[in-house]
Amino acid sequence: MGILRLLRAASLACLLLNSPTLGDRGDNNLTDGHFRLLQLVNPQVPKQPAINTDFPDPAIFQDKDKKWYAFATSGNNKHIQVATAIDPMGSWTMIDKEPLPRAGNWTTGGKNTWAPDVRIVGNGTYVMYYSGELAKDPRFHCLGAATSSSILGPYNPIDEPLACHLDSGGVIDPSGFLDTATGKRYVVYKIDGNSIGHGGECNNAVKPLVSTPIMLQEVGPDGVTKIGGPVKILDREDRDGPLVEAPNLVRAKDGSYAILFSSHCFSTTLYNVNYAVATDVKGPYKRPASPLVQTGDFNLTSPGGATADADAGVVAFHARCPQGRQGRCMFVGEFGVIGKDVIINGS
């Protein structure tokens, strides 16, 4: 299945290189001339939800049995929501199970647990990263981690959060990453500076605007033991509005790195999916001139929170549920990092 996805993406890449009018947003070459902005394929074709209910901040994962799983922010009376599929581009089924019964003694209990991400480490243990609401000060979230012998849990939280950065606003949106070039593991996350902002959209549209940096933390083979301190790899710019968030790292077959992220406020139609690229996992990351996916593409509104599997050629993200319904539904598309191009196909 993964080979098929990559072949499709490769075909799309060839098509794009020979047809500059498809999804072309103009001359968006990055400054070093090596990477070029993605092209969207068929952005005018409406995209239907893969999960047609509130399922925000989705993270997808293919297990050892080749089944696909999607995990999402708390909702539908679950601390963490979970769904499964045989084919990520096909039908998804919600699972009536609580994978994270306890979010940790340092949390308020789990009802406001955000943006989970699941990885499997070398000994076969599953690690779930998540944003837990801090019991001693619910204004803030911290980066939690929990482990399980099963993809569906129950996941048992480690005693203390991996990162908090309370002086800077707390931590949200963790995502794991294995650098296959070096064998090193990382967790990438956002310092939630807008939680201590001065008002306006997402509490950070009134000057002086607060920094919302994306941080990279190396961890050991177990996925939960920190190695050294975090490194800032990205931060908001004026064009991002109040924030950048929802980072997700992928590595292309040519050895380059791409980080997907969102900017602007999730409650506005400016919310989007962006990306930046680098030749080293720690950066510097260079950004194109235009967003990867934005309102109007595939008839979506406020797309964001993207997680990609570059090997399988698939990406999941949320956008507002169609037909005026409340919530953020999960959408799935084909994804490729082919040479110099990053591609999403919504058809």
Position 36 pLDDT exceeds 50: no
CA distances from 108 to 103, 118, 185, 254 (A): 8, 21, 29, 44
CA distances from 106 to 131, 141, 157, 225, 295 (A): 12, 10, 10, 18, 37
Instruction: Please report where in the chains the tokens 């070093």 appear, as a residue.
Output: 32
Q: What single letter denotes the amino acid at residue 346? A: G
CA distances from 285 to 15, 169, 307 (A): 27, 23, 18
pTM of the full predicted structure?
Answer: 0.89
Q: What is the pLDDT of residues 238-290, one digit of tens each?
A: 999 999 999 999 998 888 899 999 999 999 999 999 999 999 999 999 998 88
CB 132 within 8 A of CB 140: no
**In terms of Cα–Cα distance, which of 316, 330, 301 is closest to 53?**
330
- Give me the pLDDT at residue 25, please: 36
The domain that holds 83 is classified in CATH as 2.115.10.20
**In terms of Cα–Cα distance, which of 256, 268, 129 is closest to 188?**
129
Position 340 pLDDT exceeds 70: no
- Give me the pLDDT at residue 35, please: 33
- Give me the pLDDT at residue 13, please: 34
**In terms of Cα–Cα distance, which of 249, 275, 250 is closest to 263?**
275
Position 29 pLDDT exceeds 50: no
Confidence of residue 15 (pLDDT cuts 50, 70, 90): very low
CA distance 20 to 278: 24
Structure tokens belonging to residue 177 = 């990453």
Q: What is the number of structural domains in the chain?
A: 1
Q: What is the pLDDT of residues 184-235, one digit of tens each?
A: 999 999 999 999 999 999 999 999 999 999 999 999 999 999 999 999 999 9
How buried is 184 (Cβ within 10 angstroms: 0-12 exposed, 13-18 middle, 19+ buried)? middle
Tell me the sheet residues that pair with 171.
Answer: 191
**In terms of Cα–Cα distance, which of 45, 23, 22, 53 is closest to 299?**
45
Give phi and psi for 195, each to the nearest 5: -70, -15
- Tell me what the mean pLDDT of segment 85-94 comes to: 96
Domain residues for the domain of 53 are 2-345
Return the higher-pLDDT residue of 25 and 107: 107
- Give me the pLDDT at residue 288, please: 85
CA distance 335 to 273: 13
Other CB atoms within a 10 A radius of the CB of residue 18 amount to 8
Name the helix (H) or strand (E) containing 7. Answer: helix 2-17
- Tell me what the mean pLDDT of segment 91-101 comes to: 98
Q: What is the pLDDT of residues 147-184, one digit of tens each?
A: 999 999 999 999 999 999 999 999 999 999 999 999 99
CA distance 262 to 121: 27
Confidence of residue 34 (pLDDT cuts 50, 70, 90): very low
Position 40 pLDDT exceeds 50: yes
Return the higher-pLDDT residue of 11 and 231: 231
CA distance 73 to 115: 5
- Give me the pLDDT at residue 337, please: 66
